[in-house]
Amino acid sequence: MSELKHGTYACYTNSKCRCEECRKAARSYMQKYRKTENGRSKTRRYTHLQAKRNNAAASWVRKTHPEMWKEICDEIIIREKNA
């Protein structure tokens, strides 16, 4: 088995190393990746899918647990007033 080379994206992903050097390497890699066309496209797709999941979950709560939905909405209103 080869030694880990800390401070690389490969070490972060393949070896699951979470030392500060490897975290910085992974962060840097992802920042560069998101600037590419492929990275922007996947980020937009993920954001879109996440919004669809959130809407489906909210709809389910609203239909199956209306009292819980009212509590959630009331809490949001209170937080917005205090913000």
Please determine, for residue 44, whether its predicted confidence score (pLDDT) is greater than 90.
no
How much of the chain is in helix, strand and coil states, percent to nearest 5? 80, 0, 20
pLDDT digits (tens, 9 = 90+) for 46-71: 889 999 999 999 999 999 999 999 99
2 has pLDDT over 80: no
Asked if residues 32 and 40 have their Cβ atoms less than 8 Å apart, the reply is: no
- DSSP summary character for residue 19: S
Residue 34 has pLDDT above 70, yes or no: yes
**Domain map (residue ranges) of the chain:** 1-35, 40-83
Tell whether the model's pLDDT for residue 8 goes beyond 90: yes
Q: Is the pLDDT of residue 29 over 80?
A: yes
